[in-house]
Amino acid sequence: MITTLSALAAVCLLSLAFILIIPHFAATKVLMSFLPQDIREAAKAHPDPSLGRQIIGYLMTALAAAGYAGLLFFLAADGLRRGYGFWRLFGRYMLFLYGYKLFDILVQDQYIVITRKYYVKFYPETKGCKSWDDRSFNTKNQMIRLIAFPFVCALMAWVTLIIGR
């Protein structure tokens, strides 16, 4: 349990650092693709960072994805080393994915994006957009993920056991 919670804390910190740093490096179209339509429309004329900065942004994104995948691989390898069966691996993945999603919704979406309006600092032309106050801007996408997680976790546990034999 401590190992899973440690991996969860690591991925949350990695994700937090990423979302706080990436506005300096990401192309407007890429960063805005995660936000509501009215914000995307207001920011579409915003100049992109230099090509060099964008390349750094893509490298950072690749490193963040590799870190996330690495933590999942670590959890799988550690579970196999400890002799975990299907249900313990399933529970470990559920704790990890739901814990991260809780962090994503409460800290990243609700606090940083909506309450603190962090991205308005980088995209001042979006200041008056109504979606900055819409706490349900991606509820449908989040619900789809929350419903899919048990199936994803079951598949991950099964694949882990198949590979580990």
pLDDT at 131 (0 to 100) = 84
Closest C-alpha to 88, from 74, 99, 76: 76
pLDDT at 38 (0 to 100) = 87
**For residue 58, what are the contacts with CB-CB under 8 A and spacing of at least 6?**
none
pLDDT at 21 (0 to 100) = 92
- CA torsion through residues 113, 117, 123, 125, sign: positive
Q: Could you tell me how many residues make up the chain?
A: 165
Question: What would the pLDDT profile of 40-81 be if each residue is shown by its tens digit?
Answer: 888 888 999 999 999 999 999 999 999 999 999 999 999 999
pLDDT at 96 (0 to 100) = 96
pLDDT at 113 (0 to 100) = 87
Residues of the chain with pLDDT under 70: none
Tokens of 6: 């440690």
pLDDT at 1 (0 to 100) = 82
- φ/ψ of residue 26, rounded to 5: -85, 145
Work out the number of other CB atoms within 10 angstroms of the CB of residue 138: 17
Closest C-alpha to 113, from 34, 14, 25: 34
Q: 């670590």: which residue's tokens?
A: 74
**For residue 98, what are the contacts with CB-CB under 8 A and spacing of at least 6?**
146, 149
pLDDT at 149 (0 to 100) = 96
Q: 């994104």: which residue's tokens?
A: 61
